[in-house]
Structure 1
Amino acid sequence: MKASDEKNGTPAPDAPGVGMLQRAFAVIRALGEGQAEGSRVTALAKAVGLTQATVHRILHALIAEGVVEQDEASKRYRLSVDFFSLAAQAGNPSRMRTLCRPALLRLCASLGDTIFLLVKSSFDAVCLDMCEGPFPIRSFTGDVGGRVALGVGQGSLAILAFQPEEEREEIIRYNVPRLHNYGVFDEVYLRTEIERVRAQGYAGRNSGLIDGMAGVAVPILDRSGHALGALSVGTLSTRLGEDRLPMVVELLKRQASTIGPQINPFDVAVRRPVHGLTRAMATRPLSGPAQ
């Protein structure tokens, strides 16, 4: 096999250094998903399926690059402040966070609930930003940077429902097996929910997969009517009754309708061509809900 892809110049899977790079990113992801106080080598090795010696070498290489640090007292490893600083610099694709932040603040102040900005990332929805309200809630994506399979949760479902048809179909085919991790999903249920969202223009449930929690979301649409992201409200089920739901939906739609036209339609950062989806996610492990 050649060391590079002749079409796009990207390294082939067996190119020198690629395997170690993939292992390093697996360790970084495991650290990001680990406990706040850090992780031990044994736990990281088990999480990524590598030997402790290999993980130890990778960790020390990452420490040398300043993206990982080790607590002197507990000997646990965690991502460094420099890593989060670098991530923050890169964490504003297509100006989405900057563009949407005022809307999140307005909605949070008006509704008194937690507001999420979700964007599409291949077969997942990622929480790009959030504005926390006063009520303690749980969500599938968790904090900023958390991700969930497209179709799970209101924001994710709103994004999926308004994808171009061909792309939506490929996502459904890929994600249906993953949805089994969430307990109650099958393809018929998912397609029924998608049609419901497309008909009413929003995804909303007074009760859902997380006990006591409720949510409603509207897509952020481009000029073609395709979703680039979603604005979502997460709240207690007691705060999203039939009397309040129409008002919440109206406020969300009003903000989303002002954001969509401001997004550059030629910005490739918000486009994920359907032919690139499978390749991008082919080696990604399946994951359950992040709460």
Structure 2
Amino acid sequence: MEKGVPIRSISRSIAALKAINRHGSLSMMEISKASEVPYPTACRIVQTLLYEGLIEQEPARKRYRPTAMVQTLAHGFQQDDRLVKAARPHIVELTRRFGWPVSIATRVGRNMMLRDSTHANTSLTFEQYYPGFTLPILDSASGKLSMAFAPEEERLMILKWMRVSQEIDLQYLATAQASLDVERIRRQGYAVQGRNHFNLTPGKTSSIAVPIFMNGTFEAAMTMVFFVTAMKLEVALETYLEELKAAAILISHDLSEGVGA
């Protein structure tokens, strides 16, 4: 990886699986378009994923969906997890008071991965998200937060990985990188995404993310998601930001003190 030579076939297979997992159910043509791989290649990838039990064909129609095996791949991120144990009571309480779902995510490679969420605890959500769901790091509030609080060397390495990836348009990457205001995010202590385009309901939700630290080092992002039609981002910040920050401080304290270990 130091030489910037990823294995193309593996990258394409991962892209296809991520697309199916993100959308829940896709046709072969949709898989090809969403993962940006040629149709014949998508067909071979789907056959391999079917063979490995990671996806299945829906009954009576030619659409493909992830199986429970995909979720088990992320199972270890939640079970006996110190971060989840420390954060869970706080995010449940926030959702009880606010109504909106709250999630915890950490960086895994070029993506942010959900470790826990309260989508199942509220009706104020379009979809339920489970541990293992991933979001692009430059197109999510949690990802922007993670990039801002990453050491400069680590941030540059992530961007290098993205530049050599054949999944990412370089013009898009340049634009997204230019809009990432690291100093402002660190100074204000939060990041936002005005419209979430890379989730199960593109464009229908917005997000606010605040940092969780362990012994002074950034550990995870805590994100509240709300309907775009329910309120403007500015109103959400004014209403919820301080309480989100206060909860993140409590989680950081518990994590640093070993609560839930």
TM-score clears 0.5: yes
Q: Is the 8 A contact 2:210 2:248 kept in 1?
A: yes
1:109 equivalent in structure 2: 96
CA RMSD of superposed structures (Å): 4.1
SS in 2 for 1:242: helix
Q: 1:86 aligns with which of 49, 58, 72?
A: 72
| 2: CA distance, partners of 1:230 / 1:182 | 22
Q: Relative contact order (C-alpha < 8 Å, sep 6+): which is higher?
A: 2
Instruction: Identify unmatched segments of 5+ residues in structure 2.
Output: 197-202
| Alignment of 1:253 onto 2:249 | yes
Q: 1:194 aligns with which of 168, 182, 192?
A: 182
Shift of 1:61: 4.3
Shift of 1:131: 1.0
Q: Which amino acid counterpart does residue 250 of structure 1 have in structure 2?
A: A
* Percent identical residues: 21
Q: Which amino acid counterpart does residue 65 of structure 1 have in structure 2?
A: E
Structure 1 pair 213/237, CA: closer, same or farther in 2 (3 Å)? Answer: farther
Q: Which amino acid counterpart does residue 208 of structure 2 have in structure 1?
A: V
Query: Scaled by the length of structure 2, what TM-score is found?
Result: 0.67
1:146 equivalent in structure 2: 134
1:275 equivalent in structure 2: none
- Cα deviation digits, residues 7-33 of structure 1 (max 9, x gap): xxxxx97xxxx8766654444334324
2:200 equivalent in structure 1: none
2:20 equivalent in structure 1: 31
Q: Is the 8 A contact 2:19 2:31 kept in 1?
A: yes
SS in 2 for 1:128: strand
| 1: CA distance, partners of 2:171 / 2:80 | 33
Q: 1:65 aligns with which of 52, 59, 63?
A: 52
Shift of 1:178: 6.4
| 2: CA distance, partners of 1:263 / 1:227 | 17
Number of residue equivalences: 236
| Alignment of 1:228 onto 2:219 | yes
Structure 1 pair 256/231, CA: closer, same or farther in 2 (3 Å)? Answer: farther
Structure 1 pair 106/183, CA: closer, same or farther in 2 (3 Å)? Answer: farther
1:273 equivalent in structure 2: none
Shift of 1:120: 0.9
1:135 equivalent in structure 2: 124
2:209 equivalent in structure 1: 217
Q: Is the 8 A contact 2:145 2:191 kept in 1?
A: no
Q: Which amino acid counterpart does residue 87 of structure 2 have in structure 1?
A: C
Shift of 1:74: 0.8
1:100 equivalent in structure 2: 87
Q: Is the 8 A contact 1:203 1:218 kept in 2?
A: yes
Q: Is the 8 A contact 1:216 1:234 kept in 2?
A: yes
SS in 2 for 1:240: helix
Q: Which amino acid counterpart does residue 110 of structure 2 have in structure 1?
A: F
Q: Which amino acid counterpart does residue 155 of structure 2 have in structure 1?
A: R
Q: Is the 8 A contact 1:126 1:146 kept in 2?
A: yes
SS in 2 for 1:231: strand
SS in 1 for 2:27: coil
| 1: CA distance, partners of 2:259 / 2:155 | 21
| 1: CA distance, partners of 2:251 / 2:53 | 40
- Cα deviation digits, residues 172-209 of structure 1 (max 9, x gap): 5666996964997452x42xx32123223x2155x835
